[in-house]
Chain A
Amino acid sequence: MKTWSIHIGCILLLICLSCSNENPNEYTPTPSPLQIPQFFEDNILNPVIPNSNPQTVEGVALGKKLFFDPILSGDNSQSCADCHAPENAFSDTDKFSDGIDGLPGKRNTMPLFNLAWNYDEKFFWDGRVFSLEHQAFQPVIDPIEMHSTWEQVVQKLQQEAEYPNLFDQAFGASKIDSTMVTKAIAQFERTLISSNSKFDKYLLGETTLTPEELNGFNVFMDETRGDCFHCHGSDKNPLWTDNIFHNNGLDAAITDLGLGKATGDPADNGKFKSPSLRNLAFTAPYMHDGRFATLEAVIEHYSEGLQNSPTIDPLMKKVAQGGVQLSTKDKADLKAFLLTLSDHEFINNPDFKN
């Protein structure tokens, strides 16, 4: 019996030793799960958080610092936030944003919110990049955006006083690399959750809509009038986008191939991601090329301005007549409804500002 006891004691000791492989000096970042709005949780699938990049307090803080720091650009003049301004729901009021050399981009800057619910993880207007982490690699090295190299960025960050320690705290390594930079930025971007619009509060029973706003919602949901819901979500899908790519009848001749360039499939030519209709009050101009300065112009496009082309979405109806031919009242009410999807608390959230 004594021998048995010794054997059992040895086994327990080995088990204990095998479990204590943590370096006591190593910093462990603090988990910081996303605060998922209850009605998101009730209605749609959980957000996408890669196992390789869990949300942490230190990672999010580092990502925020990087997002607002011009150190990521070639001449230290431009941060992510210069084109993705918080007051514009992290978009730009310019049709095309200028890069550090004053050269304009080719697409309108996309707003940033609720990105963790992009289930297919295809980012950019043309879906050319998979995952938020990979998306963040692109603007830094784009010659007409931040026009830098990752070697330069990493070198500058490494030589900066604070960053090595911040990376150590976030990722357990003070030797910085580009993967850690993009992971941190992605963590911050995932915290950009917009869920406090007037319409959100209406759905929660906390406010009422005007008759015009209610009629606008009906126009939105009515297949014989706006029929917006097939691509832009509904009261059951608070993202207000399907995150899928469509040709919405902007041009008869396609010059920007959009998704078609990314996939190489001509059937995808002229298709761009449906943008969320949240925060439209802050995100003008509209469309992938920022061609419409106002919401009136957008509604006019779907009502009377559709252009036929081989890849136009079948849901674009009455194309021969230019669109769904909304009445003047329905157009005005639709706009009123769309504006109820704007979230003033989001753009004023101090957690999202520098």
Chain B
Amino acid sequence: MTQQHPFLALTDSDRDEMLGMIGVGAVDELFGDLPDSVRLGRELDLEPALSEQELFAHVAALAERNADASSEVSFLGAGMYDHYVPAVVDAILQRGELLTAYTPYQPEMSQGVLQAIFEYQTAICELTGMDVSNASGYDGTSVAADAFYVAKHATGRSKIVVTEATNPQVRQVVKTYAAGFGLEVVEAPQRDGTTDPDELERVAADAAAVIFQQPNFFGCLEPAPDLVSVAADAGALPIAHVDLLSLGVLEAPGRYGAALALGEGQAAGNFPSFGGPHYGFLAARSEFIRRMPGRIVGETVDTAGERGYVLTLQTREQHIRREKATSNITTNQTLLALGGLVYLTWLGPQGLRELGETCLSLAAYAKQRLAERAGIESVFSTQTTFKEFAVRVGRNAREVVAAARERGVHPGYALGRDYEGMDDVLLVAVTERRTPEEIDRLADVLAEVCG
């Protein structure tokens, strides 16, 4: 006889009683509405069920076949970063009451997650200088597409501009979405590592929105206020794609006039986890509040006059507005956004500024050491960079990556994967987790493999 499955509870006598109550003789009769032609009629062709112990052994063996940031010294960034995630994040996210709840449709059952989202929205607004934040989007790519949907409806225009120095994954995803939205996507070129406002002006006419990344994909600081002015003068919504962890040292997008600010939240409180799950954040000026996609939590009172929180402005959303909704998003990334809130609370304003300064200093140190020890120079040497910078390595960067990895160091991202003429360019990311000793080791390894 088959052993009872650990995730089931019914005994044979339970089953008999229940079938009796229903008034059928066997479980199979419950499926009487299924025509024979659509029935599988055989067992699923899957490997037999594993016990927990067997499962652990199997999956742990798979995990061990990966080279992660604990097994090699990694300078890989390009949108995902190896920042430290403190233990308090794990502890809070593993609270079953938060982990195993769903969207707080019934607010009296869900004040914990609702208040947390309200606090998260506040943190995102503080960091970005915006008035309203949603409860999260899927990631840093899909929130850009969400913002374009806002811009399309806010302006009635059908062209969007994305700078070439914006993360290639973001550009690819917005192009996919644009096919459905009926939007044309135009790129504004980069010159010497940043976007030239004059060149942006040439393509921004009649655009619904202009999106740029700050710091950009090469790690360089864009002339963000100038790009915003160009977009605004053209009647396009200026949208800033930003790194939350830069916003202790870099100006808030709201302060230089961006209409929306968004980005990938992974760096702030989530593990890289081979690409997800993470959270995309999306914030806007108050005039766009009723065009925002996704969940928004608002403050209210209960019948006793006590403060409480609820999902609000739901007439924007798919379950009410259906085909006229501002987005189809339902399930979002609440738990990961909660991780972001816990992390940002852990950092606090001082920690955030110190983290930004440490990244700036370590990256400056790395540039210096690569030049001194390996004769490797920055590609965009006149630009200010944050935690990431591009260097020319004198040979195919993908080969450099492979050779360096054999020596236990992942030296960065080969930019030739996305940019023409950059086959010999490596994008090096330096977070606070990389010590000066590890940076020295990178320089030595690169001296060896590039020489």
Q: Do A and B bind each other?
A: no
- Chain B positions near chain A (C-beta within 8 angstroms): none
- Chain A positions near chain B (C-beta within 8 angstroms): none
